[in-house]
Amino acid sequence: MVNKKGSSGSGIATGVFVLVIVIILFLYGPYLLNSIGISSVPSATSLGHTVAVGVLSVNAPARVSPSSTFGTTFLIANNLNGNAARNIYFCLDNLGLFSILSSPETSSPNPNGNAITSGRCVSISSLATGDILSEGFTLSAPPVNTYGNIQYSQNIGYYLNFSYVSTASQQLEFTSQSASTSGNYPPPVTQPSGVTAGPIDLSSSSSQPVVYGQDIQLGISLNNVGTGIPIGNTQITIYMNSSVINITAANNLGFSIKSFPNGTAVFSKAITISSTGASIELPISLSANEESKLSSLNIPYIQADMRFTVSYSYEQEGYFPVGLYIEPYSP
């Protein structure tokens, strides 16, 4: 019995010791790794709502020895709350004295994006929502005589260039004159729309409900809320039921129109998004048939839905530092 009790006490002591070691590694592990020249890999967390495609983590050494070869791995993800991303280019550049030995695939960068100098791009055809892709590069460090055996660190840059679509929706409500004056309806308020995740925040709003016989101005805002910039052409497309509502004088506003037998109308237009964004105003009217319903039939209101998509290209940048040991060094 004594031996068993002693074994139990020893086991408890061992367990406490292991627990202390685990806590120390959890709290100070990243600092210990960095001190020996290894960067800790950030945990892969979900992307924020203002991001479409992003780099979840960079696995690269903090310091390397001269003339050495080392690998760098990136986790690239598409936002689970967004749409599919296409025509993706992931590029390394701003290499300084370092050079790229190999990458999964070599491709020319998107002509709309930054021109790379000494780097290399990887082409990714598409990423579905929530997809995560690992891309690795093999790099070479310069010899001592190249940098004079002095302290040297390079912020190696990377950038993501991709095509994306942001979507939003808006419900419009038109009330009859009698319903509006009856006191059964609240005064008009601004009704915002919902929007998918992405760096271009597409939102619309209008003062509603709209009383029959009055005009409605629908404001659409495209705000750049991401860390990069929109590039190239941007296409806005609006879907609605043309038998209920329409864009007044859409041709004069530069929209091309396609109509379908089921009553759906598609309005599209090329716009320019600056570094901060863009905005447009749309005059919306009820169709003649729906107007007559509000004036001749005993119905209080008519509701209609609109859906918007904005197709754009986007580019965002990042970097990670890599330093060189000074000889004599202790790796």
User: How do the pLDDT tens digits run along the chain, 331 residues long?
Assistant: 434 344 445 555 554 443 444 334 333 443 333 333 333 333 334 688 899 999 999 999 999 999 999 999 999 999 988 899 999 999 999 999 999 998 876 656 555 566 676 788 888 999 999 999 999 999 999 998 888 888 899 999 999 999 999 888 888 888 887 777 776 666 555 555 667 889 998 877 777 777 777 778 888 888 899 999 998 889 999 999 988 988 888 889 899 999 999 889 999 999 988 888 888 888 888 888 888 888 777 788 888 888 889 999 999 999 999 999 887 655 5
Asked if CATH classification 2.60.40.1170 holds for the domain at 41-163+315-324, the reply, yes or no, is yes
Distance of alpha carbon 228 from alpha carbon 153, whole angstroms: 25
Per residue in 164-189, pLDDT (tens digit) is 998 888 888 888 877 777 766 665 55
Confidence (pLDDT) at 110 = 57
Q: How far apart are CA 308 and CA 239, in angstroms?
A: 6
> Is the CB of residue 57 less than 8 Å from the CB of residue 135?
no
Same fold, 41-163+315-324 and 165-314: yes
> Which pLDDT belongs to residue 205?
75
Distance (Å, whole) CA 96 – CA 232: 29
From the list 129, 144, 112, the residue with the least C-alpha distance to 231 is 112
19 backbone dihedrals φ, ψ, rounded to 5°: -60, -40
pLDDT recorded at residue 39: 36
**What is the distance between the alpha carbons of residues 112 and 110, in angstroms, rounded to a whole number?**
5
Taking the model in full, what pTM does it have?
Answer: 0.76
Cβ atoms of 175 and 141 within 8 Å: the answer is no
* Domain ranges within the chain, ordered by starting residue: 41-163+315-324, 165-314
- Radius of gyration, CA atoms only, the chain: 29
Q: Kindly indicate whether the domain formed by 165-314 is annotated with CATH number 2.60.40.
A: yes
Look at residue 220 in the predicted model and tell me its pLDDT. 86
Beta-strand ranges (E) seen in the chain are: 53-59, 63-64, 69-78, 85-93, 99-102, 120-127, 132-140, 152-175, 189-192, 194-195, 200-208, 210-211, 216-224, 229-241, 245-247, 256-259, 264-271, 277-286, 301-324
